[in-house]
Amino acid sequence: MKILTVAGARPNFVKIAPLMHEMRKHPSILPMLVHTGQHYDRAMSDQFFADLEIAPPDVNLGAGSGSHAEQTAQVMQRIEPVLAKLDPDLVLVVGDVNSTLAATLVAAKLQIPVAHVEAGLRSFDRSMPEEINRIVTDALSDLLFVTEESGRQNLMREGINPWKIHFVGNVMIDALEATRPRWERSGIFELLGIEHGRRYAVLTLHRPSNVDDGSTLAGVLAALQKAARRLPILLPVHPRVRQKLSQAGGIVWRDAESREKLPDGGIVCVDPTSYLDFVALMSRATLVMTDSGGVQEESTMLGIPCLTLRTTTERPVTVTQGTNRVIGTSPARIVEEVHAALSRSLDRPEPPPLWDGKASERIVRILLDHFQIGAARAAVA
C-alpha cells in the first residue's frame, strides 16, 4: 500500500512526523513524502525535519512563496506529474494550508483517494484563507480524521457521509509527547538568559488579518507594550512579519545566542526557534499569546494560559476544556485580559478526549483496515 503524504508548512511538519514514524512500523505500507516547498528557509523547514526526526522527503516541489492563487497553482502544477509517476494508493494531507488544498484538488481529479488529518475544524469565518482550504479539502476527501467532537458535528452538518468520519485524537499532541524528553532538555533558556522560575510570556504573531493591516498591527503592538510592563514578552519572529516589526518602535531585537539576561519587561524579538525550543519556551511560560491554531492546542496540553488574538477559533475544545481564551485584537481588551490572566490561578485541566499521544496509531490502523476491506471486495468482484 503506497501512501503519499503531502506537507508544506511548519504546522504540517509537526503533524506528519508521528504519522510517518507510525507508517514505517508496518511492512505492508510504503510511505512516501512530498514537501511542496511552501516553507522553504532552514528555520521554517530543515530545522523542523531535524527536530522531529523526519526522513528527507522523496520529492521537493520547490513551490516557494507567492499569493494564495500563485502558491496553490504552483503546487498543483508540480504535484500532478509526481502523482502520475508514483501512482499512490492514497494521498494523505494534513491541516489547512495551501499545499493541503492543492494536493487534494489534484488527487481528487486523478481519482486517487484522499485522507484528511485534522478534518472538520471550522472558524465560520470565510475571510480566513484556511477556512476555504478546510471546507474544500473535506468535501473532496474519502477519509476524514477529526481531532475533537466539534469536527465531527461540523462535517455531519455539511452532509458528509458519517462512515467517512473517524474521531482519532490529535497528532500534534503525538509529536509533543514523543519529543518531550528532548524539549525538556532544551538549552534555549541559557541562550536567552531566562533564569529558572522567571516569569515571561511567549507571543506568536503572523496571521495576515493581524500583521498586514498597519493600524491593526499598531494597535496590537501598543497594547502588548503596555502588557509587557508586567513581564517580558518573547516573540520568535515569523519571516513574513520581520520587515513589518522592524519598523515598529519600542521593541528589543535579540540575537538568539547572545546569552544576555532577559530584560524585566518589553517585547523581545528573536529569530524563529526550532520546534523543540519553542515547545520548551511555552512549557515554562507564565502566559502564551497567539494567533496560531496549533499553539492553542499545544498550550492546552501543556496547561499554560493562552490568549488567542483573534475573534474566532476553529479549535473550540481548547476553550471549553482547555486553557484558551479568544479575545480579539481590541487594544483595551488585550491589556485587560493579560492583567486578568496574570492575576488568576489556573488549575491544569484534563486533556481533551483522545489527546493521549496515540492518534497516529489509530489513523494508521484505520488506513490498514480500509485497504484490507477494499482488497477483499476487489477479490470477491
CATH code for position 201: 3.40.50.2000
The span from the CA of 313 to the CA of 192, in Å, is: 31
Residues 243 and 154 in one domain: no
Residue 378 pLDDT > 70? no
The span from the CA of 113 to the CA of 120, in Å, is: 18
Residues 204 and 331 in one domain: yes
Residues 12 and 100 in one domain: yes
What are the backbone angles phi and psi of residue 89, rounded to the nearest 5°?
A: -80, -20
pLDDT band, very low/low/confident/very high, at 229 (cuts 50, 70, 90):
very high
Residue 66 lies in a domain: yes
User: Quick one: which of 289, 293, 305 has its CA closest to 344?
Assistant: 305
Residues 157 and 306 in one domain: no
pLDDT band, very low/low/confident/very high, at 260 (cuts 50, 70, 90):
confident
In contact, 60 and 35? CB cutoff 8 Å: yes
Mean pLDDT over 252-269 rounds to 83
Q: How many helices (H) and strands (E) does the chain have?
A: 17, 14
pLDDT band, very low/low/confident/very high, at 381 (cuts 50, 70, 90):
low
Residue 222 lies in a domain: yes
Range(s) of the domain holding residue 43: 2-169+355-380
pTM, two decimals, is 0.94
Tell me which of 21, 26, 39, 206 is the catalytic residue: 206
Q: How many domains does the chain divide into?
A: 2
When the pLDDT of each residue in the chain is averaged and rounded to a whole number, the result is 92
- Exposed, middle or buried by CB within 10 Å (0-12, 13-18, 19+), for 111? exposed
Residue 348 lies in a domain: no
Residue 95 pLDDT > 70? yes
pLDDT score at 279 = 98
Residue 181 lies in a domain: no
Residue 175 lies in a domain: no
Active site residue 35: no
**Sheet hosting strand 114-117, strand order edge to edge:** 59-60, 30-35, 2-7, 90-94, 114-117, 143-146, 165-167
Mean pLDDT over 195-209 rounds to 92
Residues 6 and 80 in one domain: yes
Mean pLDDT over 168-184 rounds to 97
